[in-house]
Amino acid sequence: MTIQKNRVNESSQNISNLRESIDEIDEKIVALINQRLENAIKIGEIKCKKGNQVTDSSREKEIMDRLLTLNKGPIHGKALLHIFKDIISESRKLQQPQKITFLGPEATFTHMAAMDHFGHSSLYIPQPSIKDIFNDVEKGASGYGVVPVENSIEGAVNHTLDLFFESDLKICAEIFLPISHDLLSTPGSIKNIKKVYSHPQALAQCREWLKKYLPDTPLEECGSTALAAQKASFDPETAAIASSAAARLYNLEIVTSKIQDFTNNVTRFLVIGKDEIKKTGKDKTSIMLAAAHTPGALHKILEPIAKNRINMLKLESRPAKYENWNYFFFIDIEGHIKDPIIEKTISRIKELCFYLKCLGSYPMEHPETQA
């Protein structure tokens, strides 16, 4: 008994010593974070004098890549980046309050993507439509906007692509967000559900589940999944397909989680703004162009990309609004517009088509790094 009691005492002492050590480490962490923020404020003052933008996507990517290299565990890389995104977000806020506009209301997947990229210290402004996001950034009311551009299951968000023809805004960054759809209602039961609200893409991504479990229930499209949750919160006989964040915000219960038909459901979002983003060494360039309506025109346009051994990441077509049966093409290639080979290739492509616009060069992300 005496030996066992001594062991208990030793264990208690060890815990106490470890907790004291943790307290000392916490004190150092707090002091170092504040020291880092003080340096960020000084950098902000220098940027202000030079007229430079506060947000520097290339520098932030450089920091994140370096942190992943330094990390030896046990903290997971994603958790480490999450912590530092909030620290960087606070740095931006101290340098200059940053307004970010997104497809609202709060708790949409666009809102979640924006917070994932900019952190929690920015000021977020909801908008009722993607066009309103473009307009808000163009007017300078917000520094940046976040818009959905494509889903791994349902494909392109055509309205976003069309708006780039009308706008001079640039793509400043991309965000990949894994999408998980939940069925939400106030009672938290699948019984007596007489209508399901959601965004058209969310309804499409859950069509098999809906066909199986709610085959005769009317579906009503909404401008966003969060708006659907908002509507369902007023009527106990309705449900919404939305995120768990929307459930918390609108006081709904999760009836069933992860009802999407495919588990590898990821949406790509774009950060739009007025900045020209510097090279990081791992970049993507997006262009839009209109080809002549002649046989082999697209083949000729793509030939310089293949000839210069440039990796083409995406090719998407959209009807031209000004003339029937003509199309715009959206092309993503690997590399930065300031890379000589990319600049030379785009100049050659421009000679082969009657319209070309560079939508921006920005750090390239991968879906698996944000899953």
**What does the pLDDT read at residue 314?**
93
Lowest model confidence (mean pLDDT) among 37-51, 111-125, 196-210, 227-241 = 37-51
How large a percentage of the chain has pLDDT more than 70?
Answer: 91
Among the four given CATH numbers 3.40.190.10, 3.90.79.10, 2.160.10.10, 3.30.1490.100, the one describing domain 182-256:
3.40.190.10
pLDDT for 17? 86
List phi, psi (to 5°) of 326: -110, 155
pLDDT of the residue at 51: 60
Residue 2 — pLDDT band, cuts 50, 70, 90?
A: low
Whether residue 42 has pLDDT greater than 90: no
Residue that wins the pLDDT comparison between 113 and 1: 113
pLDDT band for position 64 (cuts 50, 70, 90): confident
Q: By the 8 A CB rule, do 173 and 143 touch?
A: no
Helical axes 77-95 vs 57-70, angle rounded to 10°: 140
**Average pLDDT, stretch 146-170?**
90
Give residue 256's pLDDT. Answer: 94
Mean pLDDT score, 232-252: 94
Alpha helices in the chain (DSSP H): 2-50, 57-70, 77-95, 109-118, 130-138, 158-166, 200-205, 207-213, 225-232, 244-249, 297-307, 340-352
- Map out the domains of the chain as residue ranges: 182-256, 276-369
Average pLDDT over the chain reads: 88
Give the separation between CA 194 and CA 239, rounded to whole angstroms: 8
Q: Which of 150-159, 174-183, 277-286, 356-365 has the lowest mean pLDDT?
A: 150-159
Q: Give kind and range of the element (H or E) at residue 328.
A: strand 327-334
- Distances in Å between the alpha carbon of 260 and those of 182, 204, 206, 226? 8, 9, 4, 16
Does the pLDDT value for residue 371 go beyond 90? no
The mean pLDDT value for 101-119 works out to 91
Q: Could you tell me the sign of the dihedral formed by the alpha carbons of 369, 306, 354, 319, in that order?
A: negative
A 10 A CB-CB count for 80 gives 16
State the pLDDT confidence band at 369, using cuts at 50, 70 and 90: very low
**Sole residue written with tokens 């976003």:** 160
pLDDT for 78 equals 83
CA-based nearest residue to 284, from 344, 369, 358:
358
> Which of the listed ranges 71-80, 226-235, 289-298 does the model predict with the highest average pLDDT?
226-235
Of 184, 193, 261, nearest in space to 225 by CA = 184
The CA-atom distances, in angstroms, between 239 and each of 181, 193, 202, 221, 257 are: 12, 6, 13, 12, 13
Say whether pLDDT at 368 is over 60: no
pLDDT computed for residue 228 by the predictor: 95
Closest CA to 104 of 134, 75, 124: 124
pTM: 0.74
- pLDDT number for residue 97: 66
At CB < 8 A and 24+ separation, what contacts does 301-304 make? 301/329, 301/349, 301/352, 301/353, 304/345, 304/348, 304/349, 304/352
Predicted local distance difference test score (pLDDT) of residue 39: 85
Q: How confident is the model at residue 83 (pLDDT cuts 50, 70, 90)?
A: confident
DSSP three-state, residue 345: helix
Fold of 276-369: Alpha-Beta Plaits (3.30.70)
Query: Of 120-134, 153-167, 357-371, where does mean pLDDT reach its minimum?
Result: 357-371
For residue 4, pLDDT beyond 70: no
**pLDDT tens digits along 169-191:** 999 999 999 999 999 999 988 98
Distance CA 97, CA 166 (A): 28
Smallest CA-to-CA distance from 246 within 233, 262, 263, 265 is with: 233
CA-only gyration radius of the chain, Å: 25
Q: Are 361 and 283 in contact (CB under 8 A)?
A: yes
- Span between the terminal Cα atoms of the chain, in Å: 51
Question: Are the beta carbons of 255 and 190 closer than 8 angstroms?
Answer: yes
Tens-place pLDDT, residues 281-339: 899 999 999 887 778 888 999 999 999 999 999 999 888 766 655 788 999 999 999 99
DSSP code of residue 293 = S
pLDDT at 273: 95
